[in-house]
Structure 1
Amino acid sequence: MCSSPSPSPSARRWDGSRPNSHQRRSLRIAPDSASRLLRCGHTTSCRECGNPVECYPGADDRLVRLHPRELPVAGVPEPCRWHVSRGIAHPAGDGSSWCRLAHDLLCPARPAPTAAPQLSGLRRTLALCTRRLLDTGVLAPPATLTGGPPPGEAVCRPARPVVQLLFVRYLASRPVDEIQCVAQTRRRTRCTAELLGRGGLHGVWTLVPVTVHHGQLALPSDVTAVYSLSALPYQEQLRWRTQRCRDHATASTAGDLAVTDWEPFDPLRHHEHIHTRLPTHGRRPNGHAPRRVWS
């Protein structure tokens, strides 16, 4: 058996690479693409139980958390079935023998639903994963997540503020000064910059009437605190809506590694996030406030 002839030394460069090797090209998002969210950007972890979930926008623009695996429709009740079509989650089956399932039905940190007792086995498996995360210290206990402010410091700071931009009110998933850019950097990691950067245009806190949709009952509280961005230019409000920092606002080819944190605000569904007074500075025992500016 004859062996293939070894390439001559002259067929390679001085560093050993082939002269006809092609340079690798990185994938880019088309400037006219309807979505910049990468496939890996759908996957995240539940803050309550630590199990992986996939986030998709629903037909009503609300964020839907789904179990990452498909399940046979024979073991899932019909009202609990979901399917994903073109990146949108729909609360129904698609006619196939497989379906998706909402994570809220399986989350061990929430009460077990009575409408789907056949899902108790999968729910028990996720509970074991949560126990391992708690034992190894990866997931913080619920008491730590829901703890109050530090001792000696009283802060009126909404954990999930209501933000108004582009004439729509949204419920943010974290305080205004902690909203992070969702763009992908050149190192394929999520950008760590915050939207509320220094030296930029900021919004203002204001008390506005609580408006409800037609046909809904009125709420006991008549006003709520809203972080309004309506006075900013259109491009600045669009940057907040796409949740990008100033460096990635003009980078049309950079993808998103996470779903935006905006959820359309509903006064009835989100009544626990209605605050009837404006945020204030935290006060220390010596009378000096921490260096945090509310715009």
Structure 2
Amino acid sequence: MCLNHTPTSRHWDGSPRATPPRRFLHVAAHSPSRLLRHGQSGICRRCGHRIDIYPRPDQRPIALHPAELTTHSVPAACRWHLSSGIAHPHDDGSDWCRIPHAALCPARTPSCQTSPRLNALRRQLAVRTRRLIDTGHFTPTPPAPDTPPAATHHPSRPVVNMLLGRYLADGPLQHIRCVAQTRHRQRCPQPVLNPDSPAGTWRLLPTGPHRCQLPLADTLMAVYDLSFLPHTEQRRWRTQRCPTHAALTAAADLTVTTWQIFDPLRHGAHIHARLPHPTAGRIRQG
């Protein structure tokens, strides 16, 4: 005999069955960060532990340890606090603070002065990493070396000129992916570089000085210039969105953008003195 159980509004003992209402995620229009909270978590590729990713005041992402620590156990140089979804590199005067994951990652050299509490926490993370590796649940990924590509190919991390600033991309132009969330709560698979949208121009521009940076030698570097495009198109590139999600202002971001403010002193390995395609029609020298 087959029994059919139909759901009722009460449990087997007669008590009422309380159904929690569904909660929908919304992004406040005045929020400095349009990133949903569940999109700010990830896994460290070196140790396998969870990290929380937040934008800094300069919009560069930083990975923080998910748990708060007491302020007195963290050196002043490693104290961070959150305000309106933005990570600030100092404490807020409370008894608790956040700490960068790089200071605790067992696969890295500590980025700040350690303390007995931090050393104990690093040992705990190291034991858990070893357990994940031994059970086959995690395989560490070593950092890829920055090898300069050939002069006839596109740079692996090009420099893009937009919105009166220069930014270093995290990968080739055709691999820069939209960060918006789709209706299925997944990251948009579309690239930012769209064939139906206006394209930029490869130009040879001087490396510096630029935006109050220190002056360098008067050399030229290959830059993907977007400065002549409309402001809306430059902003679409800066927010790292495809044309479809750029028009949907209510769509939230599922992850942080991968742009970095270009600094010729720190990013000297990504300076290329030759254009990717010298025979291309849209390439010109500045």
Q: TM-score range by the shorter chain?
A: 0.7 to 0.9
**TM score, norm. by length of structure 1:** 0.74
Q: Which residue of 2 aligns with 1:63?
A: 61
CA contact (8 A) 1:29 1:252 kept: no
Distance 2:37 2:164 in 1: 30
Closer, same or farther in 2 for the Cα pair 1:146/1:266, shift >3 Å? closer
Distance 1:125 1:76 in 2: 17
Structural mapping, 1:214-233, within 5 Å = 217-219=214-216, 222-233=219-230
The yes-or-no answer on 1:205 pairing with 2:202 is yes
SS at match of 1:61: coil
SS at match of 1:123: helix
Q: Which residue of 2 aligns with 1:126?
A: 125
Closer, same or farther in 2 for the Cα pair 1:183/1:79, shift >3 Å? same
Closer, same or farther in 2 for the Cα pair 1:58/1:34, shift >3 Å? closer
Gaps of 5+ in 2: 1-18
Deviation at 1:154?
A: 8.9
Gaps of 5+ in 1: 1-20, 282-293
The residue type equivalent to 1:210 in the other structure is: T
Structural mapping, 1:182-201, within 5 Å = 182-201=179-198
Distance 1:273 1:170 in 2: 11
Structural mapping, 1:81-230, within 5 Å = 81-113=79-111, 115-118=113-116, 119-131=118-130, 136=136, 138-139=138-139, 141-142=141-142, 145-146=144-145, 156-212=153-209, 217-219=214-216, 222-230=219-227
Deviation at 1:30?
A: 5.5
Structural mapping, 1:244-283, within 5 Å = 244-279=241-276
Structural mapping, 1:12-91, within 5 Å = 26-29=24-27, 34-91=32-89
1:145-188 Cα shifts (integer Å, max 9, x gaps): 449799xx997443322111111111222221111111111111
Closer, same or farther in 2 for the Cα pair 1:147/1:100, shift >3 Å? closer
CA contact (8 A) 1:28 1:254 kept: no
Distance 1:181 1:236 in 2: 14
Two-structure CA RMSD over aligned residues (Å): 3.5
Query: 49-58 vs 242-251, which deviates more?
Result: 49-58
Closer, same or farther in 2 for the Cα pair 1:131/1:159, shift >3 Å? farther
Query: 124-133 vs 63-72, which deviates more?
Result: 124-133
